[in-house]
């Protein structure tokens, strides 16, 4: 069983309450989840859990309104699909800059306009725009926020987790939760508190970043190139500013070394041939880039997500995206367990599904940097051969684009399962004029059938039932994160009910509103 709910073992008939989304859910204060960190990963988790009626508290050491000076600036297609399933993608698209091509190594253009997605592009926008949208959603759903509060210790027992924290003005606080999620970045206090290692190494030091205005015409797409000892990214935000990321092999200095615009311009000139008349930097930063991954994303009742679980080079803009996809995978599983609709064993699938993806992202982002910085004759030859191969072989180029954008990842499936099981389900049209990712809003599973079916009885809080707009004959049960939990080319009512019981738990007894079972 991979990425799906198992038998819950629930047989009671107690009825519960209605959550903030209008969907009836069941959760108790003892099922509270504590999320540490209010970056995009933590905010998406908090919004999903609160929307499912699960009590959730977000702990953040920064004051409210003080955003990280973040390096993230790209949303890829798979992340946009996940945000669409939460009703947020259209708003972000309206303030971001869509780019349907990337230029790598000076001559390889990756065309995203043929992606099998509603979002045939990447979206360039500052991370704070993503955070604003996700925070607003979490607050509206009822998530509790505790700013200026820093985790100082953590202990677990059979029933939950006790967290020690220092609140405003150093006031000691003790918080209790059923589960804790560390979404608190590379230097995660949660990861350190549970003793999980973070093996890896610093790959490049003294990476420089800035958001600048340009006096000259710039490329209209995200550009990545290297020349000699210099390496640079350049991407337009669409608001008159461009994000520039650069590195010079000979400028290996500590993160705290002063940085000025002249250094950024020099690196850009060396890597891209000119600096485009950069001026009016709204912020600049220097950092070092690590490649690290925790060997486990779970330690008992504690989970890691985003940069707390994995960090890698900024090449390809995959960092924020991978964290948001971690959150989308974990949130519905925590909600199902907290509301009593799933066996806690479901939570083990988070590691099985997301750890391999994190490892793949480390490889791909690191590979881009190493190829860009190739200097020896044999590495230059390898880069040229790979560039020529990807430029000439369509399937290889499409596979690379799928991995970069996240839509190419799939999760392992049980032996003998239908080939769709574990695969990402695209945003298909549904009968009646709707589409799948609209039906996923609300955190429910979606059962897509060829013919009308009454399978939703007693599970209205957890399941939407729809029909294909096309003549497709396959029956597919889509998880809340948009992956296929189960599929069959021909399924009768008994087979569908068995699948629903296995993945969603039992239907509510007669006399209880859907979702009231606990």
Burial (CB count <10 Å: 0-12, 13-18, 19+), residue 105 = middle
Contact 105, 371 (CB under 8 A): yes
Contact 285, 246 (CB under 8 A): no
Closest CA to 323 of 134, 158, 114: 134
In order of start, what are the domains of the chain with their CATH numbers? 19-73+126-198+294-373 (3.50.50.60), 203-290 (3.30.70.2450), 417-518 (3.40.30.120)
41, containing H or E segment: helix 40-51
CA distances from 118 to 79, 97, 306, 478 (A): 12, 16, 25, 17
Query: How do residues 146-159 score in pLDDT, each as one tens digit?
Result: 999 999 999 999 99
Q: Residue 376: what pLDDT?
A: 65
Query: How do residues 479-500 score in pLDDT, each as one tens digit?
Result: 999 999 999 998 888 899 999 9
Terminal C-alpha separation, the chain:
23
Instruction: Render 221-282 in DSSP notation, one character per residue.
Output: SEEEEEETTEEEEEEE-SSS-EEEEEEETT----TTS---HHHHHHHHHHHHS--TTEEEEE
411, containing H or E segment: none
Q: Residue 387: what pLDDT?
A: 63
Q: Residue 1: what pLDDT?
A: 38
Question: Which residues of the chain fall short of a pLDDT of 70?
Answer: 1-30, 66-70, 104-108, 219-221, 315-316, 367-397, 456, 509-518
Q: How far, in Å, CA of 241 to CA of 222, rounded?
A: 13
Other CB atoms within a 10 A radius of the CB of residue 246 amount to: 26
Q: Residue 513: what pLDDT?
A: 46
């Amino acid at each position: 069983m991979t990425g799906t709910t198992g038998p819950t073992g629930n047989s009671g008939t107690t009825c519960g309450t209605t959550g903030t989304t209008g969907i009836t859910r069941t959760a108790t204060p003892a099922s509270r989840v504590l999320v540490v960190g209010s970056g995009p990963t933590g905010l998406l988790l908090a919004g999903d859990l609160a929307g499912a009626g699960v009590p959730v508290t977000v702990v953040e050491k920064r004051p409210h309104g003080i955003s990280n000076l973040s390096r993230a600036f790209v949303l890829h297609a798979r992340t946009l699909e996940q945000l669409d399933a939460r009703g947020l993608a259209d708003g972000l698209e309206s303030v971001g800059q869509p780019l349907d091509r990337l230029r790598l190594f000076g001559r390889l253009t990756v065309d995203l306009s043929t992606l099998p997605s509603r979002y045939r592009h990447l979206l360039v926008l500052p991370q704070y725009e993503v955070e604003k949208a996700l925070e607003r959603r979490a607050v509206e759903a009822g998530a509790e926020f505790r700013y200026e509060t820093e985790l100082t210790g953590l202990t677990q027992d059979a029933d939950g987790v006790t967290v020690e924290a220092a609140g405003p003005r150093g006031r000691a606080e003790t918080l209790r939760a059923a589960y804790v999620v560390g979404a608190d970045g590379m230097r995660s206090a949660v990861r350190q508190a549970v003793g999980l290692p973070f093996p890896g190494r610093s790959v490049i030091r003294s990476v420089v970043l800035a958001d600048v205005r340009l006096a000259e015409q710039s490329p209209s797409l995200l550009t990545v190139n290297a020349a000699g000892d210099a390496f640079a990214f350049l991407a337009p935000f669409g608001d008159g500013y461009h994000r520039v990321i650069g590195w010079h092999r000979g400028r290996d200095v500590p993160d705290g070394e002063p940085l000025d615009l002249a250094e950024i311009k020099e690196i850009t000139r060396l890597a891209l041939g000119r600096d485009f008349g950069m001026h009016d930097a709204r912020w600049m930063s220097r950092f070092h880039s690590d490649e690290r991954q925790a060997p486990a994303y779970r330690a008992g009742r504690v989970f890691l997500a985003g940069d707390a679980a994995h960090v890698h080079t900024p090449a390809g803009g995959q960092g924020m995206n991978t964290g948001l996809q971690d959150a989308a995978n974990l949130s519905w599983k925590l909600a199902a367990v907290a509301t009593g609709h799933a066996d806690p064993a479901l939570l083990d699938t988070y590691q099985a599904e997301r750890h391999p993806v994190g490892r793949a992202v480390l490889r791909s982002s690191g590979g881009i940097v190493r190829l860009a910085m190739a200097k020896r004759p044999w590495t230059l030859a390898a880069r040229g051969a790979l560039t020529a191969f990807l430029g000439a072989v369509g399937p290889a180029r499409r596979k690379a684009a799928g991995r970069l954008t996240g839509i190419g990842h799939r999760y392992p499936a049980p032996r003998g399962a239908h080939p769709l099981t574990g695969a990402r389900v695209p945003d298909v049209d549904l009968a009646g004029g709707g589409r799948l990712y609209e039906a996923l809003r609300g955190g429910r599973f979606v059962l897509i059938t060829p013919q009308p079916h009454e399978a939703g009885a007693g599970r209205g809080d957890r399941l939407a039932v729809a029909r294909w707009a096309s003549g497709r004959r396959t029956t597919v049960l889509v998880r809340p994160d948009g992956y296929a939990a189960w599929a069959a080319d021909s399924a009768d009512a008994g087979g569908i009910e068995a699948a629903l019981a296995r993945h969603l738990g039992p239907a509510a007894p007669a006399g209880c509103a859907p979702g009231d079972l606990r």
